[in-house]
Structure 1
Amino acid sequence: MRIGFARLLKIILSSFFIQTSWSFFSMQGLGFLFNLISGAKKDQRNQIMKTHKEFFNTHPYMASYIIGATLRAYDEEKKSLDEIKKFITIAQTSFASAGDLLFWRTIRPALLLFSVILALKTGVTGPLTFLIVYNIFHLYHRIQGIRDGYQLGADVIFILRSKRFTMTQKIFEVCGAAFCGALISLISLQVNYLAVIPLTLLFILLLMKRVSSVFIILAVLLLLIIIVMV
């Protein structure tokens, strides 16, 4: 099943407001309800209003996957309300954990470190690079999440095993370690640029005990690029 463009656009726009009505009782619950109503058909809205006034809390970008899957369940009319609510309960926890690891722990810190290095050398290019690159990943998951959720339904939860999440996280973990070593070498230690390589390998060993040799080589290549740039 595919979702229409006009409907998709309406859900995307509403997804930006999922955190505008926080409360201790329901967290993102009202925002999630607003998102569902925005994408639901007219004859479904009353039922959604009665059913989804409960607690909801997940990573704000990952909520799109759950919204898409929930709307498909209502369109198909094959699942009971209890099954839909059970899916939401399980999915919000899974996507919250995956989103926190992907964005808060890996992508954002790695890009911030890289942006600081750029800012020291090129000024405003650093923060601009961060905003552009970070929002490419952010908007991709926010938009594609709705499409995948609607297309896969409840099975969208298995997408967390895909390379979209696992490979991206591994790459940015290595990049973050590389940029961290580079930044400390260039700013704090005031050592020769060649010292970036062994220092960053030390960071990699500390931060990623199970990293493969492929990713270590990738980190070294990234360091060489940084050395050439500076």
Structure 2
Amino acid sequence: MARPDSVKEGETLAPRKIRKWDLFRVFLRSFFVQSVWNYRSLISIGFGICLFPILKRLYPDTRSRKEFLLRHLKFFNAHPYMVSYALGVSIRLEEEYASGNLQNTDRLDRMKDLLISILGSLGDQIFWLTLRPVSLLVGAFGVFVASTVEQRVAVLILTFLLYNIPHLYLRYVGILEGYRYGMEIYRCFREGRFEKLKKGYLYLGVAIFFLFLGVLLVKFKVEQFAWIPVIGGAAIYASIFYKFSKNFYFTCLFTILFFVIVGFIFL
């Protein structure tokens, strides 16, 4: 059988199916999706580069490969971790297109346009507003209480894993689920699917936050009862601020500022 690169223009071959190995190669390339970021098309060039294994698998001739690249070099943007879902959907629709479903190009454009806001919003809520600040808080607390170099190295490793296990999981599973569901990708974003992850990290962050405050009090040997209402006020302030802002990062930041300013003024 002739190699795909040697196929002549106009020559057709039996449709080729995407393998798990192809999806894994896309996953590896997805780490560089922002490497060619630009103001004109944002991450579209990196997105197209991620799909090179699919291009080589599905399209044997130069013309079809050129058309493939033009389809994916249009304006596109998404959260760099959650973009995996858009990659999976694109792979599924390209596979169907290569098998003869010529309507999939229009469907692909519409679907990618819809995913821009969905993936951006989800990624920001999960990672930028929840996992990242909580992981940093855990790391800061661990380094603060660690007494040896070995313990601090262990804390840094724990912080790395705490953030990157969900990151790597969603980056890879997003490709698999996007490919599996195709145009029904909305099933992956059903309400409440990511709530357990966000709430788990939120509770962890709150626990570490107040534990950090307690350790600070012990560390500096503060024995004045006057600190008790300050801590209580900070806790009430934090709960009210989060209720209205729904932003864990800013809740921690402004609660610490409240705690420091009030303590400095009155104590």
TM-score of Structure 1 vs Structure 2, range by shorter chain: 0.7 to 0.9
Aligned match of 1:167 in 193, 196, 199?
A: 196
Match of 2:242 in 1: 207
Alpha-carbon separation, structure 2, partners of 1:82 and 1:185? 58
Deviation at 1:128?
Answer: 1.5
Matched AA of 2:109: K
Q: Which runs of 5+ in 1 are unaligned?
A: 212-230
How many angstroms does 1:68 deviate by?
0.5
| Cα separation, 2, equivalents of 1:45 and 1:12 | 20
Structure 2 residue runs of 5 or longer lacking an equivalent are: 1-16, 147-151, 247-267
Residue 121 (structure 2) pairs with residue 97 (structure 1):
yes
Which residue of 76, 79, 85 corresponds with 1:59? 79
Q: Deviations over 1:133-160 (max 9, x none)?
A: 2111111011111000000112223322
Asked whether the 8 Å contact 1:25–1:55 carries over to 2, the reply is yes
Structure of greater Rg: 2
1:56: how far off? Answer: 1.2
Q: How far has the Cα of 1:201 moved from its partner?
A: 6.5
The SS at the match of 2:79 is coil
Identify which of 91, 100, 124 aligns with 1:71: 91
CA deviation map 1:21-79 (0-9, x unaligned)? 01110110100111122333341533211222211111001011110011101112344
The AA in structure 2 aligned to 1:113 is L
In structure 2, what is the Cα distance between the partners aligned to 1:111 and 1:161? Answer: 26
Distance 2:92 2:67 in 1: 15
SS of equivalent to 2:80: coil
Residue 144 of structure 2: aligned partner: 120
What is aligned with 1:13? 28
Tell me the alpha carbon deviations over residues 176-213 of structure 1, each in whole angstroms, 9 at most, x when there is no partner: 23322332343379568xx7x956575344314699xx
The aligned amino acid for 1:117 is F
SS in 1 for 2:51: helix
CA contact (8 A) 1:119 1:125 kept: no
Contact 1:3 1:147 in 2 (8 A): no
* Higher mean C-alpha displacement, 143-152 vs 198-207: 198-207
Q: For 1:55 and 1:36, how far apart are their aligned partners in 2?
A: 16
Query: CA separation in 1, counterparts of 2:199 and 2:18?
Result: 31
Question: Stretches of 4+ moved more than 4 A in 1?
Answer: 188-192, 197-202
8 A contact 1:69–1:153 mirrored in 2 = yes
Deviation of 1:169 (Å): 1.4
SS at match of 1:108: helix
The one-letter code of the counterpart of 1:65 is Y
Going from structure 1 to structure 2, the CA distance change for 1:176 and 1:3 (only over 3 Å counts) comes to: farther
Query: What TM-score do you get using the length of structure 2 for normalisation?
Result: 0.69
CA change 1:104–1:63 in 2 (3 A) is: same
Q: Alignment RMSD, CA only?
A: 2.8
After TM superposition, the structure 1 = structure 2 runs for residues 132-147 of structure 1, keeping only pairs within 5 Å, are 132-147=161-176
For 1:188 and 1:39, locate their aligned partners in 2 and report how far apart those are by CA, in whole Å: 57
Asked whether the equivalents of residues 18 and 95 of structure 2 are also in contact (C-alpha less than 8 Å), the reply is no
**Measured at CA, do residues 203 and 178 of structure 1 come closer, stay the same or move farther in structure 2, by a change above 3 Å?**
farther
1:209–1:167 CA distance, 2 compared to 1 (3 A): farther
Counterparts of 1:150 and 1:125, CA distance in 2: 37
Question: Partner amino acid for 1:166?
Answer: E
Which stretch of the first structure deviates more once superposed, 112-121 or 45-54? 45-54
